[in-house]
Amino acid sequence: MPRTPSSSDSWESFSLHLGSRIQRERVARGLSQERVAYQAGLSRYTYQKLEKGESRPGMPANPTVKTLLAIAQVLDLTLAELLPRDVPDLTAR
């Protein structure tokens, strides 16, 4: 029987999609990870983990709104343009 995705599975998937989206937008603009991280006020390590969709090994990313806004501004995007369209239902238990 197929397993129904839990909200944590959905968040993990969302984090991976967000990281991929950030990476695509950065590459499309010809920017390095170091430059985006510096301009957004993040460490390179933190930024690299965000592009991978994780905060620490095995844990999905959970960036603050401030971090996402900073990255969006560096990439010249709105927050809505940066975020993936499919958002997880975090109220599902």
Report the C-alpha gap between 42 and 55 in whole angstroms. 13
Residue from 45, 49, 51 nearest 75 by CA:
51
- Report yes or no on 27 lying in a domain: yes
What's the pLDDT score for residue 4?
39
Q: Digits of tens for pLDDT over the chain (93 positions)?
A: 333 344 557 899 999 999 999 999 999 999 999 999 999 999 999 999 999 999 888 899 999 999 999 999 999 999 999 999 888 888 866
Residue from 89, 86, 42, 92 nearest 63 by CA:
42
- The reported pTM is 0.85
Classified as helix, coil or strand, 51 is helix
- Report yes or no on 60 lying in a domain: yes
- Report yes or no on 1 lying in a domain: no
**Virtual CA dihedral for 85, 89, 90, 91, nearest 10 degrees?**
150
What's the pLDDT score for residue 32?
98
What's the pLDDT score for residue 71?
98
Could you tell me the CATH number of the domain that includes residue 71?
Answer: 1.10.260.40
